Amino acid sequence: MSTLAVLGCMWGDEAKAKIVDFLGDNADVVVRFQGGSNAGHTICVDDKKYVFHSVPSGILYPGTKCVIGAGVVIEPFDLMAEIAELEAHNISFTGRLYIDERAGVVLPLHKDLDAGSEISSGAHKIGTTKRGIGPAYSDMVARVGIRLGDLQYPEWLRSRLQNIYSYHKIERSDADIENETSRLHEIWKQMQGYICQVDNLLRKWYLDDQYILFEGAQGTLLDVSYGTYPFVTSSHTMAGGISTGCGVPMRYVDKIIGVYKAYCTRVGDGPFPTELNDAIGDKIRVQGNEFGSTTGRPRRCGWFDAVAAQYTARLNGIDAAAVTLLDVLSGLEEIKICTGYWHNGVKLREIPTNPLIMGEVVPEYLSMKGWDKDITEIRSINKLPRAAQDYLEAIQDMLEIPIEIVSVGKNRNQTIVIK
Ligand code: IMO
Ligand code: MG
């Protein structure tokens, strides 16, 4: 076994980074293959908290190489600021960071478009992270985008900038274009030591039998094709995104771990059948500190949705599951799992693809007994309260996939390994 993918299987914020960090201590390489700084990946080690937006979570292990693939969109100034902040904490990037020159560039234009568009605030509001992610990906697909490698050549870059502004019908003076060209070229000079073609490196490392860990961002229900469209992000968050996102064949991925929270959360708009707009939802939000690590927004909280979870397990072909934040449910008398969707008196056989229908479904619940005990110091599955074990078993049976890891706290060591 030389490669492993860790993917969020719901609406993001499943504590993927904690699992990547937990499994990554002997990883040779950690790879981000999609998304951008909309991700907020939090890792807690020895009471120190790190939040990564674009840098792969493996950077905390000094011997691990970190890779950002072509499927990622990068705001170069923000990325360099993130790197500088980590360097101030004595984390070295020298010879450890590899960024694909084909990655798309997020420009100030994209942030402005994201902040001011219908998508972020109008009637069709998605509630984006306003990091310019959607507009940057749109421009890449429209073939007017600027790629990291373009920043090397000022003359070419200038013409690409003229092109993108004219595409968006935005007036920019020659002086403005000149200014932006030189700013981008200057930041490229600072980044050039990191920029390369990562597919070649990954292939070589794979053939050298190095342990490669693919770190997903967001979650499958935010996938641009298979998520709860249009309330999704603009990249392929599911397993297939690995191949297109960093240029390796899918058969290089030996094992896929799907990360599920012990309950559900969603930040931003869109249907959420098991949402709890009550005191239990508030309690979960407070206990789980469910506030966005990128935007600070309160996250919407709800019961575990096994219908959606089964859907994403199948889409990704996951081999094993990690269940996170189980400790947050301690103290609830009753815990529910959504086992089916009803719509107009009919039980649905599949998750609805239309957001209107998805917004109208009535969940069918299995009610389970809660537990009272604090479980954050427990390190073996058999020592968990019986009710917690039953809860995990129910989830495992519904997913039809073994749970291999259970997280009972935010720190690296607050983890139970089943296999
Ligand atoms: P991590 O990697 C949770 C959500 C936004 C919004 C939608 C589109 O930390 O799990 P975007 O800015 O991507 O165009 O916003 O997607 N979203 C996330 N939700 N976790 C994330 O990342 C997210 N990244 C984007 O809230 O609903
Ligand atoms: Mg997050």
Report DSSP letters for 318-361, one per residue. -SEEEEE-GGGGTT-SEEEEEEEEEETTEE-SS--SSHHHHHH-
Helix (H) or strand (E) holding 82: helix 76-88
- Token pair in block for residue 247: 């240029």
Domain end call among 150, 166, 193:
193
Smallest CA-to-CA distance from 74 within 112, 40, 34, 43 is with 34
Number of domains in the chain: 2
Residue of 7, 16, 38, 291 with the most ligand 1 atoms within 8 Å of its CB, for mutation: 38
> Ligand 1: residues whose CB is within 6 Å?
8, 11-13, 38-41, 126-129, 131, 133-134, 217-219, 222, 233-234, 267-268
Domain end call among 143, 163, 193:
193
CATH number where 113 lies:
1.10.300.10
| Same domain assignment for residues 334 and 406 | yes
| Same domain assignment for residues 252 and 141 | no
Domain end call among 165, 193, 221:
193
| Same domain assignment for residues 360 and 251 | yes
| Same domain assignment for residues 86 and 137 | no
Is-contact 36 136, C-beta < 8 A? yes
Q: Is the dihedral of CA 106, 195, 218, 353 positive or negative?
A: positive
Ligand 1 atom 20 nearest Cα: 12
| Same domain assignment for residues 131 and 228 | no
DSSP-assigned states of every residue in 407-418? E-SSBTT-EEE-
> 362-379 burial, b for 16+ CB within 10 Å, e for fewer?
ebebeebebbeeebeebe
pLDDT (0 to 100) of residue 346: 97
Residue 330's domain spans which residues?
A: 3-100+197-417
What CA–CA distances, in Å, run from 70 to 84, 113, 147, 265?
Answer: 22, 22, 9, 29
- The 8-class DSSP code of residue 381 comes to G
Residue of 33, 128, 130, 221 with the most ligand 1 atoms within 8 Å of its CB, for mutation: 128
Cα–Cα distance, 258 to 214 (Å, whole number): 12
Q: Cα of 12 to ligand 1 centre, how many Å?
A: 6
DSSP-assigned states of every residue in 99-149? EETTSEEPPHHHHHHHHHSHHHHSTT-----SSSHHHHHHHHHTT---BGG
| Same domain assignment for residues 184 and 300 | no
Cα–Cα distance, 139 to 66 (Å, whole number): 26
| Same domain assignment for residues 257 and 288 | yes
| Same domain assignment for residues 182 and 302 | no
For this structure, is 110 an active site residue?
Answer: no
For this structure, is 13 an active site residue?
Answer: yes
Q: Cα of 169 to ligand 2 centre, how many Å?
A: 34
pLDDT (0 to 100) of residue 46: 87
| Same domain assignment for residues 240 and 388 | yes
- The 8-class DSSP code of residue 53 comes to S
Give the phi and the psi of residue 218 in degrees, each rounded to 5: 55, -150
Cα–Cα distance, 370 to 75 (Å, whole number): 44
DSSP-assigned states of every residue in 212-256? EEEE--S-GGG-TTTSSTTSS-SS--STHHHHHHHT--GGG--EE
Q: What 3-state DSSP class applies to 199?
A: helix
Cα–Cα distance, 196 to 276 (Å, whole number): 46
Identify residue 11 by its one-letter amino acid code.
W
Q: What is the full per-residue pLDDT of the chain (419 aa) written as tens digits?
A: 589 999 999 999 999 999 999 999 999 999 999 999 999 999 998 889 999 999 999 999 999 999 999 999 999 999 999 999 999 999 999 999 999 999 999 999 999 999 987 666 666 789 999 999 999 999 999 999 999 999 999 999 999 999 999 999 999 999 999 999 999 999 999 999 999 999 999 999 999 999 999 999 999 999 999 999 999 999 999 999 999 999 999 999 999 999 999 999 999 999 999 999 999 999 999 999 999 988 899 999 999 999 999 999 999 999 999 999 999 999 999 999 999 999 999 999 889 999 999 999 999 999 999 999 999 999 999 999 999 999 999 999 999 999 999 999 999 999 999 97
- The 8-class DSSP code of residue 369 comes to E
